[in-house]
């Protein structure tokens, strides 16, 4: 993200009326502090506590009693694209059902866009997300669907997004044999994108990739050293969740149709996890997409009650969820998915960080955790134009994100 102004050596954000830290260090519950302050030193949080006890700093920002919370961690987006699919959206609103084949429309438009145009569009979308409080995001390839285009999109994304996922297995292009295309994804295409990506994903769904094809993709990408994610159980019951568990994927995303066995399998990946070691498979819910496709909302309440950590993500893409508003996702989770405000905040911050495996790390020169506010974590903070985070659902749709800091730098 490149939407920031130069930083001072230290910045104190003080007079925060309500501070939701979402800090789960050592398994502790997230804390909510009142009349709080946070001190940034460079890119790092160096102190958190009562405003009355705050140390001095080079610069001081008076929050004026507003609510503070971590920047959103958006763990599922598709931002490298050109073109428009509003006609498809209108058709769905008249009753046509969603099918994966609409991806081909975006593929054609994106292939025709120059590097300059794709980069410009990507930067604009990231800036929109940052203005809405998102300070860390993942994005995917998947609108290239041939070797050169997938490599090009991965290269462009790697210069802008925090993490990039290889999604060559998004859809089988028209006129191409599915097994031959799967072989390409698993070999030459995978080799081409490896310098630019950290993750691999597969759309395991009717109309996209079968269970066998998805297994081949996951096995090849794991062998290549990539972390794994799965698009699963979106359009109906399927193998996606079970494959994600089998391969130790960091997340399985969509999860609209879950059997009892699916929920139990996901819960089993978290058995005994106490905040240290390797996390299990996060269930990532994409409520904006569910509303746009008129699908049943993912049952986040059921997952949480079973002990499965949940992430909320925007799924920003041109076909089924053309929004990067995590505020909207949080409001929907509270108003329609049965989550409390704090559960929704956790899913949109710490949950996303878990899904991207950036929830820990406090070294000055190493990885700093995102998605929570604690000493040593990356200095990502947002202030709302409201006295409490409850206003995100209490006043849905209002532009409540007021000020945003990313790595200690205020986003403009």
DSSP-based three-state secondary structure for 378: strand
Q: Do 244 and 256 touch, CB atoms closer than 8 A?
A: no
DSSP-based three-state secondary structure for 310: strand
Please name the residues in contact with 48: beta carbons below 8 A apart, sequence gap of 6 or more. 19, 21, 33, 36, 37, 38, 39, 373, 374, 375
Provide the 8-state DSSP code for 209.
Answer: B
Instruction: Quickly count: other Cβ atoms within 10 Å of residue 298's Cβ.
Output: 27
Mean pLDDT, the chain cut into blocks of 10 residues (412 residues total): 61 98 66 95 95 97 98 98 92 81 86 98 98 98 98 98 98 95 98 98 96 98 98 97 98 98 98 90 98 96 98 97 98 98 97 96 83 96 98 97 97 89
Cα–Cα dist 383/381, whole Å? 7
What's the chain's Rg over C-alpha atoms? 20
Residue keyed to tokens 């974590």: 377
Cα–Cα dist 353/131, whole Å? 19
pLDDT of residue 363: 78
pLDDT of residue 238: 97
Q: Do 392 and 400 touch, CB atoms closer than 8 A?
A: yes
Cα–Cα dist 44/368, whole Å? 8
Q: Could you tell me the two tokens for 405?
A: 């800091």
Q: Which helix (H) or strand (E) holds 240?
A: helix 240-246
Extended beta strands in 255-338, E state: 282-285, 310-312
Q: Could you tell me the two tokens for 368?
A: 């700093």
Cα–Cα dist 72/132, whole Å? 9
Integer CA distances (angstroms), 366 to 57, 169, 187, in order: 24, 32, 32
Q: Do 352 and 359 touch, CB atoms closer than 8 A?
A: no
Q: Do 156 and 80 touch, CB atoms closer than 8 A?
A: yes
Cα–Cα dist 261/253, whole Å? 17
Question: pTM for the whole thing?
Answer: 0.95
């Amino acid at each position: 993200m490149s939407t920031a102004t130069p930083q001072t050596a230290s910045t104190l954000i003080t007079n925060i009326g309500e501070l939701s830290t979402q800090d789960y260090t050592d398994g502790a519950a997230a804390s909510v502090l009142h009349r709080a302050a946070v001190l940034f030193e460079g890119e790092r949080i160096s102190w958190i506590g009562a405003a009355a006890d705050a140390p001095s700093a080079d610069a001081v920002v008076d929050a004026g009693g507003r609510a503070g919370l971590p920047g959103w961690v958006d763990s599922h987006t598709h931002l490298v694209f050109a073109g428009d699919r509003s006609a498809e959206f209108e058709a769905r609103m008249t009753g046509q059902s969603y099918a994966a084949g609409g991806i081909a429309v975006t593929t054609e438009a994106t292939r025709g866009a120059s590097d300059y145009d794709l980069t410009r569009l990507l930067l604009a979308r990231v800036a929109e997300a940052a203005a809405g409080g998102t300070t860390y995001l993942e994005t995917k390839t998947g609108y290239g669907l041939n070797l050169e285009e997938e490599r090009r999109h991965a290269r462009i994304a790697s210069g802008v997004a925090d993490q990039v996922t290889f999604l060559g297995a998004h859809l089988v292009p028209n006129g191409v044999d599915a097994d031959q295309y799967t072989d390409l994804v698993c070999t030459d295409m995978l080799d081409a994108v490896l310098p630019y990506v950290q993750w691999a994903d597969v759309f395991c769904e009717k109309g996209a990739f079968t269970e066998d094809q998805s297994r081949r993709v996951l096995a090849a990408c794991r062998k290549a050293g990539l972390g794994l994610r799965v698009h699963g159980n979106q359009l109906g019951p399927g193998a996606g969740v079970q494959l994600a568990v089998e391969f130790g994927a960091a997340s399985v995303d969509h999860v609209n149709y879950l059997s009892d066995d699916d929920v139990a399998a996901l819960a089993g990946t978290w058995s005994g996890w106490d905040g240290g070691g390797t996390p299990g498979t996060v269930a990532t819910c994409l409520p904006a997409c569910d509303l746009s496709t008129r699908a049943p909302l993912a049952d986040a309440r059921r997952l949480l009650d079973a002990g499965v950590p949940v992430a909320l993500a925007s799924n920003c893409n041109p076909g089924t969820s053309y929004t990067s508003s995590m505020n909207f996702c949080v409001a929907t989770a509270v108003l329609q998915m049965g989550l409390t405000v704090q559960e929704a905040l956790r899913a949109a911050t710490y949950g996303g960080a878990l899904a991207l495996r950036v929830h820990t790390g406090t070294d000055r020169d190493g990885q700093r955790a995102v998605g929570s506010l604690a000493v040593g974590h990356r200095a990502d903070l947002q202030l709302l134009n409201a006295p409490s985070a409850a206003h995100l659902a209490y006043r849905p749709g209002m532009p409540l994100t007021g000020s945003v800091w990313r790595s200690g730098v205020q986003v403009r």
